[in-house]
Amino acid sequence: MSNSLKMRLVPIGSLRIVEPQLRIHSAAKLRKLKRHIERFGVLVPILVDGQGAIIDGAARFEAAKAAGVTHVNVIDVGHLSADEIRSIRLSLKRL
C-alpha cells in the first residue's frame, strides 16, 4: 500500500456529512472554531472518500461554511475499500 496521499483544493459545496455522525459538536464549539477559521483559515485538511463524503473534519466543514469559506483542502482516500474507510472513521472518533 502506498502512503503518498495528495491534498487538493475543492469547493466546500462538493462535500457532504455522512449520517449518522459519530460525534456531535456543541454550538459553542462550532462558534469557537468558526472564529478560529475566520482569523487563521482552515489549517487542517478534511479527510474525504472518493465521493466527497467527510470521513474526518465535519466540525471544520460546518465552521468553515458558517465563516463563508468557499474552498477547503481535502485529502481523498477514495482508493481505500469501504471497510477500510469505516475503520478509519471509527478509529479517528476514538482519539
Q: C-alpha angle 80/82/88, rounded to 5°?
A: 70
pLDDT surpassing 70 at residue 95: no
- Cα dist. 69→18, 22, 27, 92, 95 in Å? 20, 24, 18, 24, 27
Res 2 pLDDT > 70: no
> In this model, does residue 1 exceed pLDDT 80?
no
User: Which one is predicted more confidently, 20 or 71?
Assistant: 71
Which residues is 56 bridged to in the sheet? 47
| 58 closest CA partner among 16, 28, 94 | 16
Residues 54-69, mean pLDDT to the nearest whole number: 95
pLDDT category of residue 5 using cuts at 50, 70 and 90: confident
32: cell is 469557537
